[in-house]
């Protein structure tokens, strides 16, 4: 629901450094698990399975996560990349590639490594939230907590803002509480303020206007999103909107 297509990142992204990645994967598999620190910030699902496959290594601090990655891997990364933030960007891009290829375990390892290298990179939080949303044992609160951690380091990140807005809308659909709808609207407005060309943000805004029973404005939002990207259209939502108010332009029937 959140995916973007990422372009390769410099010459390093055109061909994944096999030895480095195998080393990273291998050591992440063999390093002993560290005890989780009390008071972790994200209410992640109960830790099960290998630690490397748990979002943010099951709730470790960045310092603990770097111990899990291991000094040998970190040294190899430091030799291979100009900086750890640059390496983090590379591995988060690879995470999205593996996510699109339906390789969730490999994607999780890459996102976790990217986060350990640079906790200020918002993309690992977003990628892990996407992966967590596909798990049947994950609560909406846990998914939203990961996305909110990303927003904490990148408050104007449009895709993350819409992720959180959509999660809040899903909560509103269950709760019917006006505060949830208002909160979703606030996140969406922030996303549009950051980037008015975000087609998905306009479609989320359309849903908010729909729930506010402002169907004419919802159609305007749909059109704005459609003009920016046809792939942003949600035809199930369009069917629901047409049931309330036919398309003023008569294009959707």
Per-residue pLDDT tens for 74-102?
999 999 999 999 999 999 999 999 999 99
Residue 78: CA count within 13 A, CB half-sphere: 8
pTM: 0.75
Report whether pLDDT(202) > 90.
yes
Q: Quick one: pLDDT at residue 48?
A: 58
User: Which position has the higher pLDDT, 44 or 185?
Assistant: 185
Query: pLDDT tens digits for 1-38?
Result: 443 333 223 223 333 443 344 333 433 333 333 333 33
Q: Which of 55, 56, 58, 110 is nearest to 87 (CA)?
A: 110
Query: What average pLDDT score do residues 176-187 get?
Result: 95
Considering the chain, what is the average pLDDT of its residues?
83
Domains of the chain: 1-154 (no CATH), 156-253 (1.25.40.10)
Segment 215-221 long-range contacts (CB within 8 Å, at least 24 positions apart): 215/241, 215/244, 215/245, 216/245, 216/248, 218/245, 219/245, 219/247, 219/248, 219/249
């Amino acid at each position: 629901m959140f995916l973007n297509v990422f372009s390769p990142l410099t010459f390093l992204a055109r061909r994944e450094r096999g030895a480095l990645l195998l080393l990273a994967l291998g050591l992440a598999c063999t390093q002993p698990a560290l005890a989780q620190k009390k008071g972790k910030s994200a209410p992640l699902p109960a830790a099960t399975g290998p630690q490397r496959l748990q979002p943010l290594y099951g709730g470790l601090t960045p310092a603990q996560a770097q111990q899990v990655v291991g000094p040998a891997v970190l040294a190899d990364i430091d030799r291979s990349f100009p900086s750890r933030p640059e390496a983090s960007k590379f591995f988060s891009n690879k995470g999205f590639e593996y996510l699109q290829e339906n390789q969730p375990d490999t994607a999780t390892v890459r996102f976790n490594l990217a986060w350990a290298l640079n906790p200020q990179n918002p993309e690992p939080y977003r990628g892990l939230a996407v992966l967590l949303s596909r798990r049947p044992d994950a609560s909406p609160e846990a998914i939203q907590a990961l996305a909110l951690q990303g927003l904490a380091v990148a408050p104007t990140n449009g895709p993350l803002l819409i992720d959180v807005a959509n999660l809040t809308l899903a909560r509103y659909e269950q709760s019917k509480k006006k505060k949830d709808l208002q909160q979703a609207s606030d996140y969406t407005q922030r996303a549009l303020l950051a980037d008015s060309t975000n087609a998905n943000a306009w479609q989320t805004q359309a849903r908010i206007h729909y729930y506010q029973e402002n169907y004419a404005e919802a159609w305007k939002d749909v059109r704005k999103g459609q003009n920016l990207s046809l792939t942003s259209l949600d035809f199930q939502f369009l069917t629901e909107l047409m049931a309330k108010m036919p398309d003023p332009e008569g294009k959707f029937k």
